A = this chain, B = another copy of it.
């Protein structure tokens, strides 16, 4: 499903964020990406949906080589990957409803289907009653949940979540984890960068630990590690 072969990423300012990543994530897997602040977790997942291009190395998504893909093909790729961005990336001039609907509009769904599906997903993240609000009228956690709703609304085969519970209280975070487990059990591949030790240690899954741009640990049913 997702394969990285000797991937390196150096940002224009000289920061070496990824230093030779080799990883294979199978269809239907649930993977935590953990590691200290600035380790390269976000860079790692950004390469998967081509927000960042690696400086060197090969990335294969579903059999397509990302470095050989045509510019025109990128939107198609991204529609197959739902992303919860670390900084949410909501469209400020669109309401909660419109932000989530946007991911369905780009695939030219019928307005009726859009309406039904969006309300369904907003209900899942408990934001049905805030559908008409604008992002800057929401609390931090509410914005994060909108981003989560948008990432799953078009039922993509892959969901990448970068720190999706950072602004959520434990109870709400738990609810979100239920959603991710649910879609994972239906076959969706989930890649989740997180700092939430409790979640990682409770819902045991594969754990990839990154430090200084290198994978330092990769274990099935691992735990968060970094004991203090």
Chain A interface residues toward B at CB < 8 A: 11, 13, 15, 34-38, 41-42, 86-87, 133, 137-142, 145, 162-163, 166-174, 195, 197-198, 224, 226, 228
Contact = CB atoms under 8 A, between A and B. Distances in A.
20 contacts: A13-B137, A36-B171, A37-B139, A37-B140, A37-B145, A37-B172, A38-B138, A41-B139, A42-B140, A140-B166, A141-B195, A163-B166, A163-B167, A168-B195, A170-B195, A170-B224, A170-B226, A170-B228, A171-B226, A197-B198
Instruction: Summarize A's interface: helix, strand, loop or mixed.
Output: loop
A36 B171 CA distance: 8
A92 to B, nearest CB: 12
Contacts of A173: 195
Given A13-B137, A163-B140, A198-B198, A169 B87 contact: no
Contacts of A226: 169-171
Contacts of A42: 139-140
**Can you list the 3 inter-chain pairs with the closest CB atoms, starting with the nearest?**
A37-B141, A166-B166, A86-B140
Given A174-B228, A197-B198, A228-B174, A168 B37 contact: yes
Contacts of A172: 36-37
Contact of A11 (B13, B137, B167): B137
A137 B15 contact: yes
Given A133-B13, A172-B36, A174-B228, A167 B141 contact: no
Nearest to A174: B228
- In the complex, which of the residues A37, A167, A168, A173 has the most CB atoms of chain B within 10 Å of its own CB atom? A37
A170 B13 CA distance: 28
Contact of A169 (B11, B37, B137): B37
A24 to B, nearest CB: 25
A41 B142 CA distance: 13
Contacts of A171: 36, 226, 228
A172 B37 CA distance: 7
